[in-house]
């Protein structure tokens, strides 16, 4: 076997790192990031200042004692 004919695997131009990522995958990635940001903004806007949201204690209604009911 002659080593003079050995093929160098690094010959030729190199491909960019994103060559194997399709447009659909890139769109899904961007859409997922935008949806998560939108959900976080909705949660932030739905919580008034000083209120812990969502919290079990924030939606409690105090009821009168049972012996005072008519």
Per-residue pLDDT of the chain (70 residues; tens, 9 = 90+): 555 556 666 677 777 766 678 899 999 999 999 999 999 998 888 777 666 656 666 667 777 777 776 5
Q: State the first-to-last Cα distance of the chain, in angstroms, to the nearest integer.
A: 103
* Residue-level pLDDT at 30: 97
Residue 70 falls inside a structural domain: no
Residue 67 lies in a domain: no
The pLDDT value recorded for residue 44 is 83
The pLDDT of residue 39 is: 95
Whether 26 is covered by a domain: the verdict is yes
Q: Which domain holds residue 36?
A: 21-55
In a domain, 6, yes or no: no
Q: What is the pLDDT of residue 33?
A: 97
For residue 27, is it within any domain?
yes
Question: 39 and 45 in contact (C-beta within 8 Å)?
Answer: no
């Amino acid at each position: 076997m002659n080593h003079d004919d050995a093929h160098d695997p690094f010959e030729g131009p190199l491909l960019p790192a994103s060559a194997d990522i399709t447009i659909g995958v890139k769109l899904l990635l961007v859409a997922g990031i935008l949806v998560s940001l939108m959900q976080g903004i909705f949660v932030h806007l739905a919580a008034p200042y000083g209120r812990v949201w969502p919290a079990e204690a924030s939606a409690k209604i105090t009821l009168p004692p049972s012996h005072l009911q008519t």
